[in-house]
Amino acid sequence: MTYTEPQIWAVIAILGVGTYLIRFSFLGLIGDRPLPPWLLRHLRYTSVAILPGLVAPLVIWPAATDGVPDVPRLAAALVTIGLGFWTKGVVRSMLGGALTLYVFQALMA
């Protein structure tokens, strides 16, 4: 990482203020006004629009293997998604994914 310490503090400060303003937006500034339906419709998908795209390259090209696709990591990702999708349990999915990673790594070692 080439970020210097003051630069990282700047990221923390700007991200902190920006995030707080998002949280404070309606409660503190805009008040009780209904959101236009088109805006609500977009906001509903922000998490699911950004997190999968953030994770996808890390799953397919893991830094730990110098970007070479890796069976244990792919299997762990698939198990995590499957468990989360069908059982709806966050902790269960994380544990299942981690366990899959370890089992595959042990089998392939």
Partner 1 sequence: MTAATSKSFFWQGCKAGVPFVLVVVPFAMLFGVAATEAGLPVSQTMGFTVVVIAGASQFAALQFMSENAPMFVVIASALAVNLRMAMYSAALTPHLGQEPLWKRALISYVLVDQTYALAFEKFERKHDLTLSQKTAYFLGAATPICPLWVLFTYLGALIGDGIPPEYGLDFALPIAFLAIVAPGLRTVAHIAAALVSIVLALALVSVPMNLGLLIAAIAAMMTGAEVERRMT
- CA distances 8 to 17, 20, 54, 80, Å, are 14, 18, 20, 32
Say whether residue 54 binds partner 1 (CB under 8 A).
Answer: yes
Distance CA 88, CA 95 (A): 13
Residues 2-41 that bind partner 1 (CB under 8 A): 2-3, 5, 7-16, 18-20, 22-28, 30-32, 35, 38, 40-41
Say whether residue 71 binds partner 1 (CB under 8 A).
Answer: no
Say whether residue 69 binds partner 1 (CB under 8 A).
Answer: no
Distance CA 34, CA 71 (A): 48
Q: End-to-end alpha-carbon separation of the chain, Å?
A: 31
Residues 80-109 that bind partner 1 (CB under 8 A): 80-85, 87-91, 93-94, 97-98, 101-102, 105
Least distance in angstroms from the C-beta of 3 to partner 1: 5
